[in-house]
Structure 1
Amino acid sequence: MSAMSQKITTFLMFEGQAEEAMNFYTSLFDQSEIVEIKRYGAGEAGVEGSVVRATFSLHGQVFMCIDSFVKHDFSFTPAISLYVNCDSDEEIERVYAALSQDGKVYMPLGSYPFSEKFGWVGDRFGVTWQLNLAKK
């Protein structure tokens, strides 16, 4: 699915870590790729080589991101998170471990009244993820 055929696309604003984040996220999920990257050139508003705009897909879901050249007084908030239905115990364990490394755990991976296995983490970039083991 391309960003143009997807009506609503999640848009992530980083401050110099967009490409690193995309590479990390696409390494975690099957059927994921960086689709396009447009970079700042010499003399442009952002740091040369940083991301003006990029699209990437995670398991077919398209996202957009940028490296903002403006420093903001805000970042990502846990009030909005990416919810992932994991297909296997191995997947949820692997993804949880990777995303929580150098991040923040909001709810440890475990059994909850609403899910057999669930965890909620903020990754090292500040993006929050709710991971759920999908029922078969």
Structure 2
Amino acid sequence: MTKQKITTFLMFTGQAENAMNFYTSLFEDGAITNILHQEDGTVLHATFTLKGQAFMCIDSGINHDFTFTPSISLFVECDSADEINLLFEKLSEGGSVLMPLGELPGMEKFGWVQDSFGVSWQLSLPQK
């Protein structure tokens, strides 16, 4: 397997560990692979995997004038109707539905949500 050369990097403000725990609980093979904490308990640097894809995250100690935006989202190709329904339900709890689950050309189901941490997810179930 080729080493991944580009990794999605998520910057949180005190919620990185909660977000990683939430995300890895939703995906069957999700796992936190490394985590380094700062003295105050926030995440200095961490890595986790979802569906074989590696991610990095931190907790920024600086308050920024920006956060996550739906213009960049994580696109997930689901394996079943049960999986897309569960992910849509859980990821939209406390967040918002940007596009409700429905049929699109080439897709049995598609939905777009922004989770409670501000990260956007496009969920797809391809037609078989």
Quick check: TM above 0.5?
yes
Q: TM-score range by the shorter chain?
A: over 0.9
1:85 aligned onto 2:83: no
- Give the letter aligned to residue 74 of structure 2: L
| Aligned CA-pair RMSD | 1.4
| Runs (5+) with no aligned partner, structure 1 | 42-47
- Quick one: which of 52, 59, 62 aligns to 2:51? 59
Range with bigger deviation, 106-115 or 25-34 = 106-115
Percentage identity across aligned positions?
Answer: 61
Moved beyond 6 Å, runs of 4+ = none
TM superposition score normalised by structure 2: 0.95
Aligned to 2:65: 73
Structure 1 distance, partners of 2:66, 2:45, is 19
Number of equivalences: 128
Quick check: 1:88–1:134 contact (8 Å CA) kept in 2?
no
TM superposition score normalised by structure 1: 0.90
Structure 2 distance, partners of 1:104, 1:70, is 26
Structure 2 distance, partners of 1:16, 1:75, is 13
The structural deviation recorded for 1:37 is 0.4
Aligned to 1:111: 103
| Runs (5+) with no aligned partner, structure 2 | none
The structural deviation recorded for 1:114 is 4.7
